[in-house]
Structure 1
Amino acid sequence: MLELVVVKQHCRIDTDFTGDDALLEIYSGAAAR
């Protein structure tokens, strides 16, 4: 769960990753599993 928070913060810092937010969410979800 903490990793997801870190990823979210990183996305907020880099607006270029906003488009990859969905991809990161899926990747983080797979990692959580």
Structure 2
Amino acid sequence: MKSSFISIMGRPSAGKSTLLNKICGEKISIIAPTP
């Protein structure tokens, strides 16, 4: 099983997690307030 790390940066509440979830086809985003 392969694992990957992806970073999508942008303004808060811009839909970054939603975009990643749609691309992957499932809800996988992990959100943290710190970089």
Relative to the length of structure 2, the TM-score reads 0.38
TM-score after normalising by structure 1: 0.40
Q: Which has the higher contact order (CA 8 A, sep 6+)?
A: 1
